């Protein structure tokens, strides 16, 4: 694989290979020390970030490489430099590019013009690294069964649907009316075990994991929180699960999309997910930059 832009471009075998490599990275990290020696990852950010920036930067460093934080708003791109010019030039300086952008079409174009691997660190449509880390976390904990996502049918929901389809996992998505996942993504997973509903109780009934995200996505100016009444993940909603764990991609807004007793309770595996972002991404870097064993 050259890039990670969209999980539909990856075969199940490639995801499984990343997971096996992640297992090795976690159990024997010293084995890969220096694997990215003399390699540079250019991190292009149009959106603010905590986990994406730190996990990629720390991960690249742990593998012996070097990561450069590059903010789009403080570059010539903010003054109208063409994306193709930027992609071509950055490919002359770096061995790989990780980008966190708004428009998904910009990510696709970046990968098209770049001569080095491009990793999608998030777009408004997809968040593949997050979904791969989420399902790896469930796999690591031997949690089998339906995953229920409750909230906005956003980029995280889309990538969970795609990853679930690739891995043969049942995924249920519960959103308020008008916030359902993108029709194109729904069509892509139409033959998979993916179910869409407007009833959060129906989605979480018997689920082994309940997932949520912020109700108002980054960059949305209009406050739409009132539309999500009844979609907060509460202890009462968790009671409908099969001893389910709680998942969140962070940042979390306690008292909005999740009740504090759930977020900070014993069923929460949120911080394990966050840690695994780095380990799974390290495996992706090794695979794409050609340094894996």
Is 129 marked active-site?
Answer: no
Alpha carbon distance 209, 149 (integer Å): 8
Set 51, 100, 104, 259: catalytic member: 100
Among residues 36, 32, 16, which one has the least CA distance to residue 24? 32
How would you write 245-288 as a 3-class SS string?
EEEECCCCCECCCECHHHHCCCCECHHHHHHHHHHHHHHHHHHH
Set 3, 6, 124, 213: catalytic member: 213
Set 158, 259, 277, 279: catalytic member: 277
Residues 97, 117 contacting (CB under 8 angstroms): yes
First to last CA, the chain: 15
Alpha carbon distance 262, 144 (integer Å): 20
Is 127 marked active-site?
Answer: yes
Helical H runs in 146-234? Answer: 155-167, 183-188, 200-204
Q: Which residue shows structure tokens 């995801």?
A: 15
Set 127, 172, 248, 259: catalytic member: 127
Set 182, 188, 232, 249: catalytic member: 249
Set 39, 130, 232, 267: catalytic member: 130
Is 277 marked active-site?
Answer: yes
Is 213 marked active-site?
Answer: yes
Query: Catalytic residue positions?
Result: 100, 127, 130, 213, 249, 277
């Amino acid at each position: 694989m050259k890039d990670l832009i969209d999980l539909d471009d990856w075969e199940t075998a490639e995801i499984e290979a990343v997971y096996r490599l992640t297992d090795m990275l976690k159990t024997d990290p010293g084995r890969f020390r220096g694997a990215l020696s003399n390699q540079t990852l250019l991190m292009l950010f149009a959106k603010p970030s905590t986990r994406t920036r730190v996990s990629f930067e720390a991960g690249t460093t742990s593998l012996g490489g070097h990561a450069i934080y590059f903010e789009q708003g403080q570059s010539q791109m903010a003054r109208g430099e063409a994306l193709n010019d930027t992609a071509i030039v950055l490919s002359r300086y770096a061995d790989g590019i990780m980008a966190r952008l708004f428009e998904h079409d910009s990510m696709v174009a970046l990968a098209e013009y770049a001569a080095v691997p491009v990793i999608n660190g998030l777009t408004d449509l997809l968040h593949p690294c997050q979904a791969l880390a989420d399902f790896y976390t469930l796999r690591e904990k031997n949690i089998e069964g339906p995953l229920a996502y409750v909230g906005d049918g956003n980029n995280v929901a889309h990538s969970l649907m795609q990853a679930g389809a690739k891995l043969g996992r049942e995924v249920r998505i519960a959103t308020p009316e008008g916030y359902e996942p993108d029709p194109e993504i729904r069509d892509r997973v139409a033959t998979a075990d993916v179910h869409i509903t407007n009833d959060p109780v129906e989605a979480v009934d018997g689920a082994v994991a309940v997932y949520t995200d912020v109700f108002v996505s980054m960059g949305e100016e209009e406050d739409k929180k009132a539309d999500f009444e009844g979609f907060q993940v509460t202890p009462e909603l968790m009671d409908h699960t099969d001893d389910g764990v709680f998942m969140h991609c962070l940042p979390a807004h306690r008292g909005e999309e999740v009740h504090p007793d759930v977020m900070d309770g014993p069923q929460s595996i949120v911080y394990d997910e966050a840690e695994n972002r780095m380990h799974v991404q390290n495996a992706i870097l090794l695979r794409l930059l050609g340094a894996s064993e």
